[in-house]
Amino acid sequence: MLTIKTLSTRARLPLKAPHRLALATLAPRSFAFCHTFGLTVWIALADGNGWSLILPGLLLLLWPAVAYLHAARAQDSKHAEFKNLLCDSLLFGVWCSVLDFYVLATLCIGLACFMNNMVVGGPRRMAASMALFAGGALGWSALAGVDFRPYVSAGVDIYQGAGAVVYFLAIAQVMYGQNRKIGRSMGEIKYQNRVFHALLDLGVVANRASNIHTLLDDALKHLHADFPEYGFAVFLQERSRPEVTRYAAVAGLRLHPEDERRLGSLLATLHEPPTDAGTLELSETAVGEPLYATPMAGRLSSYDGWLIVSAPKLDGALERMLTLCVDQLAAATENKLLHLALKETAERDGLTGLYNRGFFESVLQLSIEGKTQPPGLEFAVLMMDVDGLKKVNDHYGHVAGDQFITTVTERLKMQCRETDILARYGGDEFVILFPSADLAAPNRVAELIRTHLEGQRCVITSQHGKPVEVELRLSLGSASSTEVPAQEVLALADHRMYEDKTQRRRQRALG
């Protein structure tokens, strides 16, 4: 039969570092009890009591170690140290009675006990300390008799006075150290709150930004607002070409364009840092203070990124802050890049790479709203239909038809400006939206198409692998919001396109 032995809680508790209060009181307590033992030896020798007083006094040397072990093994180390301080009062009360209430020692020791408990627990704990001190003194007096020793010798008085001064100065030093620790802790908490606020700001910026430039600019502005004592910059460089800085932003740093280019070149020499690389100090700086660079190594899929900070020195708190901000900024940038890529995929036609019908209709709706609301911006539309796509598909296969459409796409793009929105509207239909334009804009592009595309030949490959020449013919129809209500512009352009198609068929039939 197996039995399971359970150890008591006290036996299972390992010896660990006690509460900071127990650590802070260890040295003053050891000094106080050792000093009191020395006082006991001096009085014993002066009175001729010898070992009858010295041997019990050895217990004074053991108590600091016992108190420390008690705090170290306790589940609640702080509460255990509170008990130790009360035990100090009881033991010192007893010992003051043993020393026949030597006046100077009794006053100094009692005051020290009361002060210690007052500091850690307030008036109530001080009252408990006074009660235990008095109880210990009166209890031992009741057992051994009461005697009163107002004075021993000048040497003993000097010894006791010096010890009291040293003890109270030691307590003052302990309190000073604790206050310093509390002050540093408060400063660290405030700094951590600033870091937390900065990370929240970065999250908000990431959700609001419409593109990478806006994301990086707004992120650094918020970061500089949370940490105005630092200047910030961020660089994203192409991984395949590290000398090319794709995105950059600056906040709180006075960098001229030449300084930015030099800094980008310097970062390019640090291409592909290890993923565990920490913050680096840049050897060349363009500002008065040192610059430190934290890499986004391994955090971005297409770029190598760096967060730059200008600071007088790099300490642990700043380095941790930079690491957290780099992680947040890199995650926000990567998510935004992915979002933009998915958005572009959703807005683009898979074959031609042009905008698809859904995107065109959303932009057209914005133009319609812009026309119906002040200041009433005009817009125009050009509809196009590629003649002969069905014939190409039937005779040469759909792969050849796709080549035909992509060829038309490339040639149409050459006739459009950057502000024109070219989209594939259907299988063989294309459409161009001209924002803030009248009928002259589509007429101009239509004339260019008639001149440079109409009747031109392109070479495609049939399903049997043979090159085939196909003639380009497009039916066109344009309309503007200056002619009809905004909601009817597309329908009018479509109607005119089919009129053009019908007329061209009649001409070919007669020709």
- Give the span between the Cα atoms of 372 and 365, in whole angstroms: 11
Q: Which of 456, 455, 431, 454 is nearest to 442 (CA)?
A: 431
Beta strands in 149-284 (DSSP E): 231-238, 245-251, 280-281
- Give the span between the Cα atoms of 169 and 164, in whole angstroms: 8
The pLDDT, as a whole number, for residue 476 is 95
The pLDDT, as a whole number, for residue 3 is 35
Average pLDDT over residues 442-455: 91
Share of residues in the chain with pLDDT > 90 (%): 31
- Give the span between the Cα atoms of 289 and 314, in whole angstroms: 11
What's the pLDDT band for 286 if we cut at 50, 70, 90? low
Q: Do 320 and 361 reside in the same domain of the chain?
A: no
Is the pLDDT assigned to residue 119 strictly greater than 60? Answer: yes
Last residue of a domain, one of 312, 346, 380: 346
What's the pLDDT band for 489 if we cut at 50, 70, 90? very high
Q: Do 430 and 307 reside in the same domain of the chain?
A: no
Q: Do 333 and 460 reside in the same domain of the chain?
A: no
Angle, CA 281 vertex, CA 276 and CA 286 arms, to 5°: 140
Q: Which of 160, 162, 164, 144 is nearest to 152 (CA)?
A: 160
Is the bond leading into 375 cis (omega within 30 degrees of zero)? yes
Q: Do 106 and 244 reside in the same domain of the chain?
A: no
Q: Is 327 contained in some domain?
A: yes
Q: Do 147 and 262 reside in the same domain of the chain?
A: no
- Average pLDDT of the chain is 85
Q: Do 430 and 312 reside in the same domain of the chain?
A: no
Is the pLDDT assigned to residue 15 strictly greater than 80? Answer: no
The secondary structure of 133-151 as a DSSP string is HHHHHHHHHHHH-----S-
Q: Are strands 379-386 and 291-295 parallel, antiparallel or unpaired?
A: unpaired
Q: Is 191 contained in some domain?
A: no
Q: Do 468 and 339 reside in the same domain of the chain?
A: no
The pLDDT, as a whole number, for residue 14 is 54
- Give the span between the Cα atoms of 87 and 378, in whole angstroms: 91
Is the pLDDT assigned to residue 8 strictly greater than 80? Answer: no
- Give the span between the Cα atoms of 437 and 443, in whole angstroms: 11
DSSP class of 350:
T
The pLDDT, as a whole number, for residue 7 is 34
The pLDDT, as a whole number, for residue 508 is 75
- Give the span between the Cα atoms of 209 and 219, in whole angstroms: 9
Range of the structural domain that residue 229 is part of:
210-346
- Give the span between the Cα atoms of 493 and 5, in whole angstroms: 92
Is the pLDDT assigned to residue 189 strictly greater than 90? Answer: no
Is the pLDDT assigned to residue 1 strictly greater than 50? Answer: no
The pLDDT, as a whole number, for residue 463 is 80
Residue tagged 């796709």 (tokens) = 402
DSSP class of 247:
E
Q: Do 342 and 361 reside in the same domain of the chain?
A: no
C-alpha count within 13 angstroms, C-beta hemisphere, residue 234? 26
Who wins on pLDDT, 278 or 188? 188
DSSP class of 419:
T
Is the pLDDT assigned to residue 5 strictly greater than 50? Answer: no
What's the pLDDT band for 274 if we cut at 50, 70, 90? low
Who wins on pLDDT, 280 or 270? 280
Q: Do 170 and 218 reside in the same domain of the chain?
A: no
Average pLDDT over residues 9-25: 67
Q: Is 286 contained in some domain?
A: yes
Contact 429, 382 (CB under 8 A): no
The pLDDT, as a whole number, for residue 273 is 56
DSSP class of 15:
P
Query: Which tokens sit at 344?
Result: 């572009």
Number of domains, the chain: 3
Average pLDDT over residues 401-411: 91
CB within 8 A of 415, min separation 6: which ones? 445, 448, 449, 452, 453
Q: Which amino acid is at 140?
A: W
The pLDDT, as a whole number, for residue 287 is 57
Q: Do 312 and 414 reside in the same domain of the chain?
A: no
Is the pLDDT assigned to residue 379 strictly greater than 70? Answer: yes
Average pLDDT over residues 437-461: 90
**Positive/negative CA dihedral, 114, 115, 119, 123:** positive
Is the pLDDT assigned to residue 22 strictly greater than 50? Answer: yes
Is the pLDDT assigned to residue 9 strictly greater than 60? Answer: no
C-alpha count within 13 angstroms, C-beta hemisphere, residue 496? 19
**Residue 249 phi, psi dihedral angles, 5° rounding:** -150, 150
Is the pLDDT assigned to residue 272 strictly greater than 60? Answer: no
Q: Which of 439, 433, 423 is nearest to 367 (CA)?
A: 433
DSSP class of 348:
B
Last residue of a domain, one of 325, 346, 367: 346
The pLDDT, as a whole number, for residue 288 is 65
The pLDDT, as a whole number, for residue 455 is 85
What's the pLDDT band for 317 if we cut at 50, 70, 90? confident
The pLDDT, as a whole number, for residue 58 is 86
Is the bond leading into 123 cis (omega within 30 degrees of zero)? no
DSSP class of 153:
-
**Residue 164 phi, psi dihedral angles, 5° rounding:** -65, -40
- Give the span between the Cα atoms of 44 and 331, in whole angstroms: 75
Angle, CA 440 vertex, CA 437 and CA 444 arms, to 5°: 115
Q: Which of 108, 107, 29 is nearest to 68 (CA)?
A: 29
The pLDDT, as a whole number, for residue 182 is 83
Average pLDDT over residues 218-237: 90
